[in-house]
Amino acid sequence: MNNKKATGKLSKVLKLISVLEKCNGKASIGSSEALISPKAAKIMAAVGLVFLTGALAVTAYFVEPFIAPYIALQDFAKSLMMILLLLTLVLSIKNIVTVLYTADDLPVLLPMPFSAGQIVTAKLVVSLKFPVILSLVLVNSTLLGLGFNAGMGATYIIGTVLSSVLIPVTGLAVAALIIVVVFRLFGFIRNRDVTLVLGGVFTLALTLAYVFASNTLRGDSGSAALGILSSVASLSNGFPNVSFMSSFMFDGNVLGLLISLAVTAAVILLALVVIKLFYMYSALSMQNTGKSNKAVGKGDLDGIKQTSALKALTSYEAKNARRNPAYLIYGFAMTFIWPVLFVLPMILGKGSFFSIVKYSPDTGALLTCALLLGITASCFACGFNILPVTAFSREGDSFNMLRSMPIVFGDYYRSKRNFSMLICSLGSVAYIIILGIVCTATGIVSAANCWVFLFGALVSYLCNSIIINCMLMNNAKKPVFNWDSETELSRKLGWINIVAIVIGFVAYLALFAAIIASSAIDISAVMLNGISITLIGAIGSAAIALVILAVAAAVNKISVKKAEKSLF
């Protein structure tokens, strides 16, 4: 009877796995929409993986004599297994959050007659496919190729094949264990918007770590790589599933094999127990968006304590933007973190951008760089911000109530513009001023030329005014008041956002080129028709700044009337 019951549970899990694999994306290999038959596509994929594994094994076989004098095969094997374990753990964290908590199929699966363990097991098995294939290809091909040339025995081959499966399984189980415990203990994470931003921060941290590691290895890649492998091999001694499996592979220690298998089984069992206890509660308590208990209403618009109408409306706009995590993420976070994406990769590691700077640019060159910096900062700060482009749409059904109130539209419009200007200026103008202080204090820019950063800050502020007013006018022309989810509304960037980001990226590349040109050579000595090229750049930068000032003044003047005409 128990066998039938267990078989029935396993059958349900296998059926759920089959359904999840079929629903895992229309572009999967072997789908019915492929140009060739599903069976042929799967055969081609399998043949390709076998060929890749064989090619890597042959390469490792012939490379073994060249690496043997520098690192022992046992240390290399432990390093490779440790790296794959950590890689599986890191890559699985975000994937597990997606499949267990933020996937769209959860509302469908949870009411079905599946236990939490069955749902999670099926999802994790589907998620395990890529790590297992990656481990099978890399571990088997590399270690078997090296081992055959080194004359290793049967225990080495058995341990290699077992490790290629056990390593990704262990990494995935540990990741699932951590994620389920964290989601159960920290209630604020059980919000899809918060989860998304934390996932973005996690991905960003991995990207920066990769940039830093690659820049560090760029100078002396051979010795640095061998040093890292030796360190990883030493680190593996703290992971019993790797260290004991290594003792079985190289020393024939059967007890090491049994301990390694027991550790893996214990981790999987512990993960399943924790999932059974905590998963269902945390999954059911996931929210699409979070709001404060206090709703924004008419009282927020009243001029309490003799507050002016503009100040009261600006306060209302701030509360309306802060009350929802979706607005906090897409209206605040991206505006402030853009320097991490573009600036830090330039200054991290041995091959950093500032290592090529040889000369201190003169005033003319600095004006050009400050102009480009102001445009870049403004375009990125505004381009990644959804507050102005959804300013009127965020009102939703409340807009009709606002129309009936005795509010001057000019104050209403300026409250939205002022709040957006404040946020975008903190992500652009403030950054330029901080950069100016740092560059002056470190001697990159002389104290006599530090005023160019104020010029760049002014250009950034004027560009912010142009972009934000354009976004407000565009949203007033085509507002969307009937929406189902504020999260869905907040994720959509308008065409002005895209244009701003593109212009910002072009200005960023131009800034990069200008700094290299002005720092690598003394361009003040370069003449064009008898006039210094830096003088031409300074005059041109001042002229462009005046044009930006004129455009900002014109747009600022017509924006209120145009928006009012569009809305009413």
How is residue 127 written in tokens? 């998620």
> In 3-state terms, what secondary structure has residue 103?
coil
Distance CA(127)–CA(107), nearest Å, equals 19
Letter for the amino acid at 177? L
CA quadruple 528, 531, 536, 539: dihedral, nearest 10: -160
Distance CA(547)–CA(568), nearest Å, equals 32
Where are the extended beta strands (E) located within 444-561?
A: 527-528, 531-532
Which pLDDT does position 291 carry in this prediction?
46
Letter for the amino acid at 250? F
Which pLDDT does position 132 carry in this prediction?
81
Which pLDDT does position 540 carry in this prediction?
83
Cβ atoms of residues 302 and 208 within 8 Å: no
List Cα–Cα distances, 306 to 211, 302, 310, 311, 411, in angstroms: 54, 9, 12, 10, 16
Which pLDDT does position 309 carry in this prediction?
74
DSSP string, 149-215: HHT--HHHHHHHHHHHHHHHHHHHHHHHHHHHHHHHH-GGG-BHHHHHHHHHHHHHHHHHHHHHHHH
Letter for the amino acid at 468? I
The DSSP code for 329 is: I
Which pLDDT does position 389 carry in this prediction?
83
Distance CA(137)–CA(129), nearest Å, equals 12
Non-local CB neighbours of 421 within 8 Å, separated by 6+ positions: 464, 465, 468
Element (H, E) at 87: helix 73-97
DSSP string, 132-150: HHHHHHHHHHHHHHHHHHH
Cβ atoms of residues 458 and 548 within 8 Å: no
List Cα–Cα distances, 427 to 384, 495, 499, in angstroms: 10, 20, 18
φ, ψ (nearest 5 deg) of residue 44:
-65, -40
Which pLDDT does position 189 carry in this prediction?
59
Distance CA(18)–CA(487), nearest Å, equals 32
pTM over 0.95: no
Distance CA(317)–CA(300), nearest Å, equals 9
Non-local CB neighbours of 373 within 8 Å, separated by 6+ positions: 432, 435, 456, 460, 511
527-528 and 531-532 strand pairing: antiparallel
Distance CA(36)–CA(31), nearest Å, equals 9
Per-residue confidence of the chain (568 residues) as pLDDT tens digits?
A: 455 555 556 666 677 776 666 655 444 444 444 455 666 766 777 777 788 788 888 888 888 787 777 777 888 888 888 888 888 887 777 777 777 776 666 667 767 777 766 777 787 777 777 788 878 888 888 888 888 888 888 888 888 888 888 888 888 888 888 888 887 777 655 555 566 556 555 655 655 555 555 555 554 445 555 555 666 666 667 777 788 888 888 888 888 889 889 988 998 888 888 887 877 777 766 655 444 444 445 555 454 444 567 777 777 777 776 666 666 666 666 777 777 666 655 555 444 445 545 445 666 778 888 899 999 999 988 888 888 888 788 777 777 777 677 778 888 888 888 888 988 898 899 989 988 888 888 777 777 888 888 999 999 999 999 999 999 898 888 887 776 666 666 666 778 888 888 898 888 888 877 777 766 555 555 555 545 666 777 788 889 999 999 999 999 889 888 888 887 7
Nearest of 272, 481, 482 to residue 391 by alpha carbon: 481
Distance CA(518)–CA(513), nearest Å, equals 9
Cβ atoms of residues 514 and 368 within 8 Å: yes
Nearest of 412, 411, 388 to residue 466 by alpha carbon: 388
Non-local CB neighbours of 58 within 8 Å, separated by 6+ positions: 145
Distance CA(166)–CA(242), nearest Å, equals 10
DSSP-assigned beta bridge partners for residue 531:
528
Distance CA(185)–CA(300), nearest Å, equals 35
